[in-house]
Amino acid sequence: MTVSDAPDAGRRRRERAALADALRLSRSALGVSTPNPPVGAVVLDPAGDVAGRGATEAPGGRHAEVVALDEAGGRARGGTLVVTLEPCDHHGRTGPCSTRALAAGVARVVYAVEDPNPVATGGSETLRRAGVDVARADDDEVAAAGDGPLRAWLHRQRSGRPYVTWKYAATLDGRVAAADGTSRWITGPESRHHVHGRRREVDVIVVGSGTRGADDPSLTARSVDGSPARRQPLRAVMGLTEVPPTAAVRGSDGRFRHLPTRDPVEALALLGDVQHVLVEGGPRLAGAFLAAGLVDEVEAYLAPIVLGAGRSAVEDAGVGTLAAAHGFEVRETASLGPDVYLRLTAPTRGPR
């Protein structure tokens, strides 16, 4: 049964609103919940009013459903649990969310995405067997959840490797630096603020040794006022060149990793059980990941200027003819001050 099958139009509207709220909540778990999925949950009491809200906590902490049910307390009995991912059905660091929902006495559960993890799946069937009314969200809601905060985690479950986003800022003619090598700043402050927001949501930022040596970047995530964000991703430099102890990227928080390889596949393996990798390196690093077929998403920040010369955004991407070009599908566009932001994803492909 789907949400659209429910006879009560008012209930449908409330559940759709709750699922949209849960999706927003799940964004706060990005970069926090790894290796667990970033999930959002909302509890509606029997009258349809919001009684509890929650997002997945750091590993060892509560899952989103438990956070929401704890907040709802007795108001959850006879109510509805709305969640972005099917409630888990296994004992890990915490108990099954399906069991917790039953103990809370919820009468109905609505979820968006089925759990593809064979260890954790099955919560919906456990709930149904116990007499709970379980519904899968409508197709558009499922698509929104699968392409939202859960995107990287789902990719990791299905492919066995992290989701890779290549981010770059360039001119209209695809230059990331002028002929004299100058590159700061091609895009405006609005684009830079957006980048820092994205940094807070990923697990790892990767640059190459060349970028490290030329720019000495800190790769930190910063707030609008320039202060360090509370949550920082892991900072990684890929390449055989040693990273000096005085390099800004090392920082002082222990959130640094040197990946002594030029092979993108090996680099991802060295990162361990992470979900989302942001490649911010120069043209050669971008080309290496593209040539290896490891770019799942592109985030492009385009400035309304033309240089006519200078370094291109990508080099040596393994393409010799137009027919072999790397193709992407536009998912999102936005204006950021004078700049244009594009988010594109690669066509679905098998594990690599």
Same domain, 151 and 214: no
* 122: amino acid identity, one letter: G
User: Same domain for 207 and 75?
Assistant: no
Positions marked active-site = 65
Total domain count, the chain: 2
Domain identity same for 123 and 138: yes
Q: Indicate the pairing of strand 133-136 with strand 108-113.
A: parallel
Q: Which residues contact 161 (CB under 8 A, 6 or more apart)?
A: 155, 268, 269, 294, 351, 352
pLDDT in tens, 150-205: 999 999 999 999 999 999 999 999 999 888 888 888 999 999 999 999 999 999 99
Task: Name 272's Cβ contacts closer than 8 Å, sequence gap at least 6.
Answer: none
- What's the CATH code of the domain at 36? 3.40.140.10
Q: For position 294, which CATH number holds?
A: 3.40.430.10
Any domain includes 220: yes
Is residue 351 in a domain?
no
Measured over the CA atoms of residue 169, residue 174, residue 180 and residue 186, the dihedral's sign is negative
Q: Are residues 18 and 87 in the same domain?
A: yes
Is the sign of the CA dihedral 182, 183, 188, 192 positive or negative? negative
Taking only the tens place, the pLDDT of each residue in 97-121 is 999 999 999 999 999 999 998 777 8
Q: Is 193 exposed, middle or buried (0-12, 13-18, 19+ CB in 10 A)?
A: middle
Please state whether the predicted TM-score (pTM) of the whole model is above 0.85.
yes
Examine the domain organization and report whether 136 and 168 are in the same domain. Answer: no
Q: Are residues 13 and 40 in the same domain?
A: yes
d(CA 79, CA 109): 9
pLDDT at position 7 is 58
To the nearest 10°, report the CA torsion of 329, 197, 272, 218: 120
- How many of the other CB atoms lie within 10 Å of CB of 68? 31
What are the Cα distances from residue 119, in Å, to 42, 90, 94? Answer: 24, 7, 14
Q: Which residues contact 139 (CB under 8 A, 6 or more apart)?
A: none
**48 and 126 share one domain:** yes
The reply to whether 239 falls in a domain is yes
Residues 136, 176: one domain? no
Phi/psi of residue 98, nearest 5 degrees: -65, -45
Cross-strand pairs, 85:
113
Bond preceding residue 185 cis, omega within 30 of 0: yes
- Is residue 22 scored above 60 in pLDDT? yes
Asked if residue 267 lies in contact with residue 259, where contact means CB atoms within 8 angstroms, the answer is yes
Paired tokens of 305: 């200027």
234 found inside a domain: yes
- Domain membership flag for residue 44: yes
The tokens 């890990």 sit on which residue?
92
Domain end residue (candidates: 126, 155, 184): 155
| Domain boundary, last residue among 134, 155, 176 | 155
Q: Is residue 350 part of a domain?
A: no
Pair (150, 164) in one structural domain: no
Q: Average the pLDDT over each of 69-73, 126-130, 143-147, 294-298 and give the range with the smallest value.
A: 143-147
141 and 165 assigned to the same domain: no
**What pLDDT does 111 receive?**
96
Looking at residue 49, what is its pLDDT?
Answer: 96
**Residue 352 placed within a domain:** no
188 with 118, same domain: the answer is: no
Where among 98, 123, 155 does a domain terminate? 155
What's the confidence (pLDDT) of residue 4?
47
Please indicate, yes or no, whether residues 142 and 194 belong to a single structural domain of this protein. Answer: no
Query: pLDDT tens digit string along 231-251?
Result: 899 999 999 999 999 999 999
What is the residue range of 103's domain?
3-155
Q: Look at residue 181 and tell me if it is in a domain.
A: yes
